[in-house]
Amino acid sequence: MSEDAADFRTMFIFSPPEGEPQGWGLTFASFADALQAKEPDAPVHAWSGHYTGETLSFQFGTSTGETAEGMVGVEPNGVAIEDCTAAEAADFAGWLRQAIVPAGSGLMANIREGVEWELPLVELHGSGVSELEASLVGHVERVLRYEEEQLG
């Protein structure tokens, strides 16, 4: 494989399970409140785009000390963070599981390249960062391998 999946930087997209587009009951206010409880100075900004609809932009401090930019959509529920490794995304997914995802609801993930190739989401089980990271690295490996096979 041309890139190491653990070091591959991309957009990670998180959502409730398919068929449950409002599965988290997510609102901009609930997301902003949860984020600012973790990071009081985290900037958030609501905006509307022709293709994206109503969106909330935010910044999130990662486990590596970097700042990741992201966006939230409520119809359907979903959250994305840009330019992250699987480890940084796992830290974010752990926070999502704890602060946003209701008990008993699923947490699905994909990466930008997986969406572009119309590959299925992966369900993230557990809440430990190392377990989440292993799932995300495995998904990145599968997507990159598929992309390599398609492009030759």
Determine, yes or no, domain membership for 65: yes
Band the pLDDT of 126: cuts 50, 70, 90: confident
Reported as a single tens digit per residue, the pLDDT across 107-122 is 999 999 999 999 999 9
Mean pLDDT across the chain: 91
Tally of domains in the chain: 1
Boundaries of domain holding 125: 10-151
Determine, yes or no, domain membership for 3: no
Determine, yes or no, domain membership for 79: yes
- In this prediction, residue 3 carries a pLDDT of 56
Determine, yes or no, domain membership for 2: no
Cβ atoms within 10 Å, residue 80: 24
- In this prediction, residue 1 carries a pLDDT of 39
Reported as a single tens digit per residue, the pLDDT across 46-98 is 888 766 668 899 999 988 888 999 999 988 889 999 999 999 999 999 999 99
DSSP 76-139: TEEEEEEEE-HHHHHHHHHHHHHHTSPTT---EEEEHHHHHTTPPPEEPP-S-HHHHHHHHHHH
